[in-house]
Structure 1
């Protein structure tokens, strides 16, 4: 797996591209309660056809960034940062693109080769190419830690959801270098109308 520029201070494991497999994954020993809760998570995530939210992102408990998160399933996602950050990440259904608005430069990786594909796919399953390695609970919070089944050593993604009602509160990504990135969502609006133009990647200078 390779990491795009600024990933260490951005979404970390969400935007990691695929590479050669090595270590075997160690799945969690799931209880009956775990399986029931994971089914609820799948159903909840599957119900999110569109989402708009604000986010606050911290990296290694130091750097702090704010911005907006948009999701339009299947395949489309956008994360844009408040000034002075000029970066954004856009999934258009085929590619996941890092775009530098100041330099008008972009870098693309196939969406299906990243764990971001899990967030945007039409059929969300906590199995198959992702493996649940830990389930924990506390204070109306359910946490589900995931790794890519074929590449567990390259990072993890933990989804934190309130349970009553179920609502995605945050995610925590740990990349292969141990960088910890937490993204907290606020003002979450499911089911909103989102213009497809949000998921069109701007041109880079050489495309003009």
Structure 2
């Protein structure tokens, strides 16, 4: 099995792979959208509404690593600061953000690697703040000319080593101001891209607190290193 999971924490398929080109386009800054009839202004207000109304999420996911390896599983999210990626099959990894740090748990070698959430691109997804303008995010109302899609792109100009994230939403049919989170594309400082696509997302489910914990594999025998 290719070990393509370390880039996930530094960079963590979008809705469809053709959308990747949209990340390269210059996205108009939020401050330029000042009128309600402006489609970009309407799009970023819809995104802020989504974050404001979404406290938790449960979904299937498909992840495309920079190596081309494809994995899948279940993802759970609770804002602020909590996310869990449970990989299906025999993948010996677990990714858990516990409200303070993002943890990569490698049960094969018995190792835990931690990053502060604010030092990862996922801070846009997991943060308490929904003020996209303050976060320096940019919005595109119809990337690739697809009117169904809204994209949000974020990059910390002062810390380029953190990489970039582009989050993709789909407008709900008949309710253009209501969005569904479809996935995200993350590019790290080495231009390595990781794509995550969400499947059958459920909004605001009740999630057990134990999801944000994990068995620490350090010190366990290899025989006992299971998730």
Distance 1:161 1:117, change over 3 A: same
2:113 aligned residue = 107
In the TM superposition, 1:1-208 aligns within 5 A as 6-8=5-7, 10=8, 12-14=10-12, 28-29=28-29, 30-31=32-33, 32-60=38-66, 62-128=68-134, 130-133=135-138, 135-137=140-142, 138-152=146-160, 154-164=162-172, 165-206=178-219
**Aligned mates of 1:153, 1:111 — CA distance in 2:** 14
TM-score by length of 1: 0.80
After superposition, the C-alpha distances for 1:76-99 in whole angstroms (9 at most, x for unaligned) are: 111121122111211111121110
After superposition, the C-alpha distances for 1:98-144 in whole angstroms (9 at most, x for unaligned) are: 1012333211122232232222222322133x323452401411112
Alpha-carbon deviation of 1:175? 1.0
Alpha-carbon deviation of 1:61? 8.0
Whose Rg is larger? Answer: 2
Q: For structure 2, list consecutive stretches of 5 or more residues without a partner in the other structure.
A: 13-25, 173-177, 222-227
Q: For this pair of structures, how many residues does the alignment match?
A: 191
Alpha-carbon deviation of 1:73? 1.6
**Aligned mates of 2:217, 2:67 — CA distance in 1:** 33
Q: For structure 1, list consecutive stretches of 5 or more residues without a partner in the other structure.
A: 15-25
SS of 2:219's equivalent?
A: helix
SS of 2:136's equivalent?
A: strand
RMSD: 2.5
